[in-house]
Structure 1
Amino acid sequence: VHFHVRSLFDIDEANEHFGSTMLMTLRWTDPSVESVTEPKDVPVTSIWRPDMIIVNSAKGTKIRKEKLTILPDHKVEYTKRMFAAVQVDMDYTWFPFDSHKWTIACQSLTYDNKKVVFEAAGATHDKIDNPLWKVHNFTAAVHNVKSAAHEGATFSRISATFQVSRFQSYYIAQVVLPLVFIMFISWMSFWVDAAAVPARTTLCVITVLTVLFLNFKVSAGLPKISYLTWMDTYMQVCFLLAVGSLITYIVVLYYEYNNARNPEVFKDAPAIDHHARWIFASFFGLFNVIMFALAFTHLNDANRQHTNAAIS
């Protein structure tokens, strides 16, 4: 069996599946077919052929075109072009610096491994241009699986596996950089006079709401998962810093309000803003260094694994 993937499209991260158009070529020896000296095309219903399905298809398999050819020495070649929405498992822990291993698994619908056994003849693909994903290392492998639907019968399954890694530039430009500028605006609120209540309150509230908006925008494209991604951690810390700037202003106002009553106790209102400026900037700078150091370390490890897989 040989796989050839023509295209990958409609990558749906929220539902964890992608669309693929592929060619599958099967060759086998059938002593019952006529002997020919040159390849001869015959109707696809005239000779027995394996009833192949894509096991992990989310919406069924659509066969676009089939071709059956008799070759010399009683060999048969069966080629079909298929389309399927393939279901895959994805780990978003390092999103948007994540990479995944996707598999297209095929087997016979009714013939177990006592009747049909596959051998992998390789996996290839056309040049796949996707603005968000890069494709690496196509491989094909055969293994046996037990089917509960067939009373535990063992089936021969062939899987085309490839690795994909995400291009981060979109999320860096559309999410991370805006967050950095939003945090800069939030930091600037510490320089606004505490007496300018409308201006400073508006500045603090707008930064909080903007971070929430970006968080909802990013989360809408992902499935509901029970763990934090890299982006979740980054955005949650930005949200806490934005809220922290608002809370700091409330404390400053409290000190300013009570300064007239008890100037000895509430005399440090300007000092709160002064210290907050440097604590905020130092913490956010250190946080970015740590987060991006972890992300690029993960990327280097993933690239090393892709290179080793390609060599092997």
Structure 2
Amino acid sequence: MNPAALAPSAVNVGAVAFLFGLVVGSFLNVVVHRLPRGESIVWPGSRCPACSRPIRPYENIPLVSYLLLSGKCRGCGAPISLRYPAIELLTAVLFAAIALETGLRIETVLRCGFAALLVAAAAIDAEHRIIPDEISLGGLAAGLALVPIIETLEGAAYLSALLRSFWGALLGGGLLWSVGFAHARLSTALGRTFEHWPGEGASLPGPGSLDYWTWFPGLGFGDVKLLAMIGAFVGPAGVIETLLAASIAGLALGIVSALVTHRWNSPFGFGPALALGALLVVLVPHPSLLH
């Protein structure tokens, strides 16, 4: 028998990745809802946020259940947020696109995992204006540990791959930290205060304060850790391209947000823009990720 006849076609690989992405997207919804609230992502099982009614397995089928339930809880009739089907569909599309580009390889699994981390970080930051350390620092550790191994299996030298991942993380965190630190110190020099400090006459932090080094107006330290995580996966060149793409994406998202809310000075998290920039690096054939 011709071995080529047994090889899965690109369409089949993409279809399987799409279905797997739906399942992962459903789990990411649990992460997005529970992690910022300090709840376990494992126990208890899925429940309606409004009435706490347990969701039965046949009511928890990605995309399908949302359509069959007309976007409402079967028990109390409370509307189900559009975020749930949106994350499921987005994750499925990303997984399929990655699989169609890279094929049936171990690299595909790593890229899909990276994309899942980005989706979760973006969704949480958009809703809560935070990026949990479980995602950023956990992803950073995973990137530093796994990327060199995967690259070695793909034929690269382990030490070279490890250094590329390490320098990517260092550049990602250091570059964004430097931008935020310079902006914060300029604000301090101009006599501005930070919004999160209570009181009109709140004092500005001195160099001996942790806030002096880790909090910047308009830029959270979570963004710094997120770009460090991204750098561990995409390397130094990918960090630069991610930041450039994120700057453009952030401007576009800001304009859209202003048009929708009619508020031109409303702050929003930079995490979604960073995630979008990194996803472009992942989806577009690129030499800085696992090559």
TM over 0.5: no
Higher relative contact order (CA 8 A, sep 6+): 2
TM-score (norm 2): 0.29
TM-score (norm 1): 0.27
Higher strand share: 1
Higher helix share: 2
